[in-house]
Chain A
């Protein structure tokens, strides 16, 4: 071990059934350093943290800590805590109905007795020394989320923690609260605590961190000093796309030229939902394919959910063909001719135990209303038509959808919405987790539908897929729309630059 390093993880392997979550990852943390752990969802950040804190047992590899001669054995979170590794999670894991001091000392008593006076005095002393504006006897739930998080940190500090892990601590904080938290982090850093900071927010990384370790697909991409890695490079490392890879792959598909071409079908102004996105403007033309892009967690799904009324809309106006319409719940949107294929197929898409047929006709049936059920013959006709059209591989229309493969499930959901003949189709990650062949089929279908006059919004984590299908890209960062790219600007480089924002030139 190097002198200043307090934690070294070497060659860590961890797999779950069917997934290699970590493959030979190294990670080094030094004394008095704030170290960002970056990567897209599924890159292995959480798994690495959980291995370190004893939630998961590693398959292979070694963990060294300062002051120990041999590799540390961490089998449970308790082991990790004893070795001075503490974690503060995104969601508060304290007890909101206990006092601040009780939360700081809960589960740490050695005997049966508890000296309440001393406990409160100790707590107040620590809170004061860390400059945390909370009182020991105050009930925790009366504090803001930021303060609660700081109390959790204070608890960790008091437990003599050397390695502090902050897992997405800022996602539910406002800007001022984030500043306060950063102040506390810098204070701890000066005391020699090593901090591992997991976040999606690029701005925050560049504000507070010293080093960045990037993971992708369970593998280590590299460790970089913050000044050596400009944002654009960080984004390209996370996405695994080289900057020079700028070939324009979007084929010139047929463009819709019929009635109403070039006119806005839907327009939104200052739209905002309760899912934590900044108000945004939006418009889509007839026969246009546009897309929201940005890193995961940047708010692209939340935007389309707001348009569809899936989240509660708290502000903004929506117009259809220039006339104002009110969309406050999904059925309103459906009646206006909007269809939405959700991001999470399992949770929001399929109705698992129902047959393929029922899954296909569901949305259309809801639109027809409760008193006009489709007859068995009609339902079968529609189901067979779309099973054939989209080449859905299923034993029969009676098969429960849950027994189909992911790609075929996705096609069923797509069939469900195509059956409603929407004017505007929103596809949120329609190709995630499905095989390449089906991916291309879906992309082709999107372009075909658009050439027939349907407006489509296409969201995908894969930028080349977006480039292939979309003629206009709306770029999001940190839950804000930060740019719009069309025509010549549609290149990988330009997208990455816009996603990264800030110091483009460096």
Chain B
């Protein structure tokens, strides 16, 4: 009897959704080709030991997504909408970083500024983009998707303009560490960066009231106002926080290739980030959220993407497969379906007891 309780509690926990998705994907890969889970030790071009394998790829690229999912979760919770300009603002922030690192010459032999300065400038750029979105959403009350459509459209052009449409290339080993490996450590650096971000957000959620405020504003704005909150400012704040997450992801992205391709960098990444939030079982119309579930959701999305690549799905066709997942998720989370499922579950329960 007690076992059943534990199980049903698990099922009703939000984090069950990404865990179930993860189990399904794992099972699928186990059956299709167990070599998916093979991890091998190799050496990279600089002769340092690195781990490789599909799981490492997931850990590597899923971390970018997890960082973005943190910000996207907060934006979703407070504003009840999503920021679709994430990919474009990554281009802006990445471009700003490279501009600082390169100075006037687009292909300098050595860095023109410390990496930390470049990162802070990139942060500022991304936070400004977030602030722009936030002002439109919070103070002008434009729907988030529409408001962020502006930077979604213009962001990559702005990114190109920052570097006079030249292709800056960095020639510095230290800069490649952020998107690659630190010598001697065989685990990709993005994972460590993501862990730092997770620790920071966990501390923020524990030692400030950000969680309560964003959820309260997302659930009932009018009531929140009458309880002394400033809903507009809280929405604005979540967009700025997402800006910081974007800057971190941008650092990883430009570090991977030590350069930038304005039209391709982080393309469609916003969709994966939104999907991560949804897969985490969070309502896309705002309100209550579970940060851990979102982060796990991000890795599951990457798991899915990598599985599809492994099955030799063309990158063009990838979105079509993901769309199927989106459809299932959206339909399952629709209130009318949920109601039916729960009533179905209630009907089934007594029967299963009889069988047992």
Contacts and interface: CB of A to CB of B under 8 A. Distances in A.
Contacts of B220: 347, 350-352
B208 A363 contact: no
A310 B226 contact: yes
B219 A354 contact: yes
Interface residues of B, number: 22
Contacts of A494: none
Contact of A350 (B207, B223, B228, B229): B223
A366 B228 contact: yes
Interface in B172-225: 206-210, 212-213, 215-216, 219-220, 222-225
B219 A365 contact: no
- Pick the most buried of B220, B223, B229, B287: most chain A CB atoms within 10 A of its CB: B223
Contact of A351 (B206, B224, B230): B224
B212 A353 contact: no
Contacts of A358: 212, 215-216
Contacts of B222: 347-348
B288 interface: yes
Nearest to A347: B222
B226 A340 contact: yes
A366 B219 contact: no
B226 A373 contact: no
A221 interface: no
A351 B206 CA distance: 21
A334 B226 CA distance: 9
A362 interface: yes
B236 to A, nearest CB: 14
A365 B206 CA distance: 14
Nearest to A340: B226
B312 interface: no
Interface string A365-385: 111011101000000000000
A421 B62 CA distance: 48
Contacts of B219: 351-354
Contact of A362 (B206, B208, B216, B288): B216
Contacts of A334: 227-228
A363 B223 contact: no
Interface in B226-255: 226-230
B286 to A, nearest CB: 10
Contacts of A347: 220, 222-223
A453 interface: no
B227 A373 contact: no
Contacts of A340: 226
Contacts of A369: 209
A109 to B, nearest CB: 34
A77 interface: no
A331 interface: yes
Given A352-B219, A353-B287, A354-B216, A370 B210 contact: yes
A370 B209 contact: yes
A370 B208 contact: yes
A279 interface: no
Interface in A318-374: 329-331, 334, 340, 342, 347-354, 358, 362-363, 365-367, 369-371, 373
A353 B228 contact: no
A329 B228 CA distance: 8
Nearest to A363: B227
A330 B228 contact: yes
Given A330-B225, A330-B228, A331-B228, A354 B288 contact: yes
A80 B219 CA distance: 40
B14 to A, nearest CB: 12
B227 A330 contact: yes
Contacts of A350: 220, 223
Nearest to A342: B226
Nearest to A366: B228
A378 B228 CA distance: 21
A349 B229 contact: no
Given A308-B226, A358-B215, 15 more contacts: A342-B226, A347-B222, A348-B226, A351-B216, A351-B223, A353-B219, A354-B215, A354-B216, A354-B288, A362-B216, A363-B228, A371-B207, A371-B208, A373-B206, A373-B209
Interface of A: 308, 310, 329-331, 334, 340, 342, 347-354, 358, 362-363, 365-367, 369-371, 373, 416
Q: Shortest 9 CB-CB distances between A and B: which pairs?
A: A331-B228, A366-B228, A351-B220, A373-B209, A334-B228, A351-B219, A363-B227, A370-B209, A353-B288
30 contacts: A310-B226, A329-B225, A331-B228, A331-B230, A334-B227, A334-B228, A342-B226, A347-B222, A347-B223, A348-B226, A349-B223, A349-B226, A350-B223, A351-B220, A353-B215, A353-B219, A353-B288, A354-B215, A354-B216, A358-B212, A358-B216, A363-B227, A365-B209, A365-B212, A366-B209, A366-B227, A366-B229, A370-B208, A371-B207, A373-B208
